[in-house]
Amino acid sequence: MPVPKKKHSYSRKMSRRAQHDKLDAPNLTICPDCKNFKAQHRVCGTCGKYKGVQVIEVPTLQ
């Protein structure tokens, strides 16, 4: 069975692992009712609607 001839350096090892450590921006869509950004397939936190149906009651600020 083949064995590596030399040890990989710390920086080479960490740069290989760093490919999976990056952060991705969340996918946001525009709510068709209130025109604010919301996460996909989630209830809108501003108006409380999902697919045009009122799902939760959102308190209004006075």
Number of domains within the chain: 1
The DSSP result for 44-61, as a single string, is -TTT-EETTEE-SPPPPP
Q: Does residue 54 belong to any structural domain of this protein? A: yes
Q: Does residue 7 belong to any structural domain of this protein? A: no
- Cα separation of the two ends of the chain: 73
Q: Does residue 22 belong to any structural domain of this protein? A: no
Q: Does residue 58 belong to any structural domain of this protein? A: yes
**Nearest CA-CA partner of 34 in 6, 1, 60:** 60
Q: Does residue 3 belong to any structural domain of this protein? A: no
Domain range for residue 62? 27-62
Q: Does residue 35 belong to any structural domain of this protein? A: yes
What average pLDDT score do residues 4-25 get?
90
Per-residue pLDDT tens for 29-57? 999 999 999 999 999 999 999 998 999 99
For 2, the token pair is: 């083949």
Evaluate if pTM is beyond 0.75: no
pLDDT band for 62, please (50, 70, 90 cuts).
low
Q: Does residue 12 belong to any structural domain of this protein? A: no
